Amino acid sequence: MKKILIVLSLAFLATSFLHATAMPAIKSALGEWKFESPYAPDGYNKGSIIISEKEGVLAGEIKFADGTKVELKDVKFEENILKFGINVEYNYIPIKATIEGNKMKGTANTPDGDLPFEATKVEKTE
C-alpha cells in the first residue's frame, strides 16, 4: 500500500512539474503579433494574429488589414512551434510557425500553395 501511495504521489508531482514548466513557454506565444505575407492576396497579406489562453486552452483570432476577423482553430504550441488553422473562403488553411523571442516565421498551406509570413510581437505599453 505504501508503494502505491508513493507512486501516485510521484505521478502527481511529475504532472504538476510538467504543467508548471509548460506555462512559461506558452506565455511566449500569447499576445498580439503583427504579420506580413507579401505573396498572399490583397486583404490577406497584413494584419494581426492574437493568441490568448482561456482556462488552459489556447485560442485566438486573425484580424486582417481590411478589418475582417477570423477565429483560430486547433491552436497548439509545443517546443516553440505554433500550429493552428483558419477558415477562409470555404477553405481550411493550416498554419505553422516558429517563435524565437519576439519574432514569428511561418507558412500558411493554402490551396494555391504555401505562403510564407513573418510577424513581430507587439509590445504592451503600460
Q: Model's pTM, two decimal places? A: 0.78
Q: Which residue ranges form the domains of the chain, and what is each CATH number? A: 29-121 (2.40.128.20)
The rounded distance, in Å, linking the Cα atoms of 24 and 16 is 14
Cβ atoms within 10 Å, residue 99: 21
Rounded CA separation 75/55 (Å): 14
Q: How confident is the prediction along the chain (126 residues), in pLDDT tens digits per residue?
A: 566 555 445 455 444 444 444 455 788 899 999 999 999 999 999 999 999 998 889 999 999 998 999 999 999 999 999 999 999 989 999 999 999 999 999 999 999 999 999 999 998 766
pLDDT at residue number 124: 78
